[in-house]
Homo-oligomer: A and B are copies of this chain.
Amino acid sequence: MDKEIERQIEDKVKEILSKELDTRIAEALQKKGDYNRAAFIASKGSLDMAYPPLILASAAAAMDIESAIFFTFYGLDILHKKKNKNLKVPPVANPSMPVPMPNILGILPGMTAMATMMMNKWMRDQNVPSIQELLDACIESGVKLIACQMTMDVMGIKREDLIDEIEVGGAATFLEWASGCNITLFI
């Protein structure tokens, strides 16, 4: 091809690229941005801190955000068939309890049961689903539930102690999922 024509083609291509590229890339990024994924870690086993991962993951599912919850350390209780119906609120070391309680009272036998009963009642009164119902909602809407293998080993928890609808994995399993996410929260 004639050198002159070649040069002109090059100029033309660059000119069009200048005009087109930014728009196209912006569109592609926009499209990618629309595709959301979320990764949650549930590390606490108290009743109050069991709610956030389940509420967030089920709300995410309703918004077409694919999500996974990795249950580790005390958070594994949320998947535990015997324990997850009886998660408790500790009435000590939390100066923000809705009904404030001095720690010297909070430690008394029966106080954990009372605080738990109160929180369960408040939740029910406002039609907040129970932990059990939220877990079912997560399962039905396809939230991936991953039990931490290391925690199971360390705490002597067997696969059959946990609900059926889960997979078992490690930190690498979580990180692999989280790598494709824009929302990542440790709860």
- Report A's interface with B, CB cutoff 8 A: 1, 4-6, 8-10, 12-14, 16-17, 20-22, 24-26, 28-29, 32-33, 36, 38-39, 41, 43-49, 51-52, 55-56, 59-60, 62-63, 65, 72-74, 77, 83, 87-98, 102-104, 106-109, 111-112, 122-123, 125-126, 128, 150, 153-156, 170-172, 174-176, 178-187
Give Cα A184 to B178, complex, Å. Answer: 9
Given contacts A5-B1, A9-B8, A128-B150, contact A103 B111 (CB under 8 A): yes
Interface of A, secondary structure class, is helix
A-B contact pairs, 8 of them (CB 8 A): A17-B21, A74-B96, A91-B103, A92-B93, A92-B107, A123-B154, A128-B154, A182-B182
Please determine whether B24 and A14 come into contact, CB atoms closer than 8 angstroms.
no
Q: Chain B: which residue is nearest A83 at the CB level?
A: B96
**Closest B residue by C-beta to A123:** B154
The answer, among B12, B44, B172, B184, for a CB contact under 8 Å with A6, is B12
Contact residues in B for A51 (Cβ distance below 8 Å): 73
Q: Are A155 and B122 neighbours in the complex by a CB distance under 8 Å?
A: yes
- Residues of chain B contacted by A171 (CB below 8 angstroms): 55-56, 59
In the assembled complex, how far is the CB of residue A157 from the closest CB belonging to chain B, in whole angstroms? 9
**Known contacts A45-B95, A46-B96, A153-B126, A29 near B32 by CB under 8 Å:** yes
